[in-house]
Amino acid sequence: MTQSIADKTAAILSRLGVAPARWTGGTMPGVTPVTGEEIARLTPDTPETAARAIARAKSAFETWRNVPAPRRGELVRLLGEELRAAKDDLGALVSIEAGKIPSEGLGEVQEMIDICDFALGLSRQLYGLTIASERPGHRMMETWHPLGVVGVISAFNFPVAVWSWNAALALVCGNSVVWKPSEKSPLTALATQAILERALARFGDAPDGLAQVLIGGPEIGEALVASRDVPLVSATGSTRMGRIVGPKVAERFGRSILELGGNNAGIVCPSADLDMALRAIAFGAMGTAGQRCTTLRRLFVHDSVYDALVPRLVAAYASVSVGNPLEGEALVGPLIDRAAFEAMQQALEAARAAGGTVHGGERLAIGPDSAFYARPALVEMPAQAGPVAEETFAPILYVMRHNDLSEAIAQHNAVGAGLSSSIFTTDLRESELFLSAAGSDCGIANVNIGTSGAEIGGAFGGEKETGGGRESGSDAWKGYMRRQTSTINYSRQLPLAQGVVFDI
């Protein structure tokens, strides 16, 4: 007899050490998009329990900030080890809760392991500067100090990786962390917390409350947003959410890292390797059922290669396997819920009204009525109009023609979001123009690969309505610390800067 998803979930949670009281007997349903069925009943936090968690995190920070950074790195090293041991279970739980195909569920956990490795190395760096002083017998330096409690608010589509990008850096930087995962993916968060607690137990003397999770909806996120004891809120989700969260954090002079919606585009040039472009576009646009912030949503194809590429893409859309990610070998899983399917249908309707020709997009009869599987949609548009300018969080690719690269770049940049972008070309002049100051206006600009699937070594994030935040690699760690400039006088004189005289 095959195991039900509820039983499979219970077995994974039990193996990972999540107490049944955390996910049974409560009022908040946990649902799998694979079938749409309820698999858990959680007890949500309240503004009062959230306030207590923040207070504990604040007190933990006051101890943790004094622990040497390389020792803090040891905790993240242990977390990486525990994640390696739990990779199969946590990856399977990501598939159950977010509907990802197995390689993407496992890939998400691999990304968590990768950022732990990165953060461990970082714990022996966190470099400051020494700066030449204009005054004799003086030295200037810049030091990076821990910030305090970091609030992490995350989206359903990367239910655990986003936490790790933030938490691994925040912890080695000397901060404590309070995480409010999406209300659509609380089980993976509880599982991650259990894995972290194993690392904490092995670490030995970490302060109580160093990293906590709060279960609930926007009102619990709001508790982090409003608290003056949370100097940094890192919020990942829709631009709509960021429009609320950003100003509220700014109002109390808190800091925010905003990782919001994308409306990512690719440009196909006449010299492109079309076989490679086809594969990159297919993965970028249909992978994760179009539910990545970096999903390819708009494609500008040069007139001279349009007929050689687009019919092949249409055929790929018609034949791509859509199905239950827990069984078989489907490449595209379900949409997260009914609302996502309805938003997809509304966008397709609006595209038709704006003159678009829609290929695919229909609901597929896979699983019970409570599950929402759709054939990915490719829409040939006469122009960038109607729904093309907005992110619809579903697998819709709008395809448009161009016959001039500068005009294509102008169209590419003419939307609110600014997350990821790519160009397909073998012409150096074209790729360099795209990467230049006059090219893509996005935080990520790729050549001959798609818009999605970033590695953790680079800083991740986008401009404009994507919020401007950066997470993960490069020097994104600086966002989790405060900078202090010090001038040290080792002389017996007191010369003032800029030649100012003040003799008393």
Residues 6+ apart with CB under 8 A from 315: none
Residue among 74, 380, 391, 441 that touches ligand NAD (CB under 6 A): 391
Interface with ligand NAD, residue 245, by CB under 6 A: yes
Question: Has 81 been annotated as catalytic?
Answer: no
Residues 6+ apart with CB under 8 A from 406: 433
Of 47-55, 122-130, 258-266, 373-381, the segment contacting ligand NAD by CB under 6 A is: 258-266
> Closer CB to ligand NAD, residue 361 or residue 461?
461
Residue among 244, 350, 389, 445 that touches ligand NAD (CB under 6 A): 244
> Closer CB to ligand NAD, residue 67 or residue 244?
244
Residue among 35, 95, 466, 472 that touches ligand NAD (CB under 6 A): 466
Of 1-9, 48-56, 254-262, 270-278, the segment contacting ligand NAD by CB under 6 A is: 254-262
**Number of helical H runs and strand E runs in the chain:** 14, 23
Of 4-12, 15-23, 143-151, 220-228, the segment contacting ligand NAD by CB under 6 A is: 220-228
Number of residues near ligand NAD (by CB under 6 A): 29
Q: Which of residues 181-210 bind ligand NAD (CB under 6 A)?
A: 182-183
Which residue has 């009281």 as its token pair? Answer: 21
> Is the backbone of residue 144 left (phi > 0), alpha (psi -120 to 50) or beta?
beta
Q: How far is the CB of 178 from ligand NAD (least distance, A)?
A: 13
Other CB atoms within 10 Å distance of the CB of residue 65: 17
Q: Which of residues 222-241 bind ligand NAD (CB under 6 A)?
A: 222, 225, 236-238, 241
> Closer CB to ligand NAD, residue 123 or residue 472?
472
> Closer CB to ligand NAD, residue 421 or residue 466?
466
How far apart, in whole angstroms, are the C-alpha atoms of residue 180 and residue 189? 9
The residue type at 152: V
Q: How far is the CB of 64 from ligand NAD (least distance, A)?
A: 25
Cβ–Cβ < 8 Å for 100, 326 = no
Cβ–Cβ < 8 Å for 422, 298 = no
> Closer CB to ligand NAD, residue 232 or residue 260?
260
- Choose the catalytic residue: 108, 222, 259, 465: 259
Q: How far is the CB of 374 from ligand NAD (least distance, A)?
A: 17
Which residue has 């990520």 as its token pair? Answer: 444
State how far the alpha carbon of 503 is from the alpha carbons of 134, 137, 492, 498, in Å: 19, 19, 15, 15
Q: How far is the CB of 159 from ligand NAD (least distance, A)?
A: 9
State how far the alpha carbon of 10 is from the alpha carbons of 20, 24, 34, 214, 472, in Å: 8, 10, 16, 20, 32
Which sign does the torsion angle of CA 316, 238, 210, 68 carry?
positive
Quote the tokens at residue 126: 């966190």
Which residue has 């004094």 as its token pair? Answer: 66
Interface with ligand NAD, residue 387, by CB under 6 A: no
Beta bridge partners of 417: 464
Cβ–Cβ < 8 Å for 262, 443 = no
Per-residue x/- track, 337-376, ligand NAD (CB under 6 A): ----------------------------------------
Cβ–Cβ < 8 Å for 452, 100 = no
Per-residue x/- track, 114-153, ligand NAD (CB under 6 A): ---------------------------------------x
The DSSP element (H or E) to which 224 belongs, if any, is helix 218-226
How far apart, in whole angstroms, are the C-alpha atoms of residue 197 and residue 263? 37
Per-residue x/- track, 281-320, ligand NAD (CB under 6 A): ------------x---------------------------
Of 55-63, 91-99, 214-222, 394-402, the segment contacting ligand NAD by CB under 6 A is: 214-222
Which is nearest to 467 in space by CA: 260, 297, 184, 252?
Answer: 260
> Closer CB to ligand NAD, residue 86 or residue 153?
153
Quote the tokens at residue 381: 């548009």
List interacting residues with ligand NAD (CB under 6 A): 153-158, 180, 182-183, 217-218, 221-222, 225, 236-238, 241, 244-245, 259-262, 293, 391, 393, 419, 466
Query: Looking at the annotation, which residues are catalytic?
Result: 259
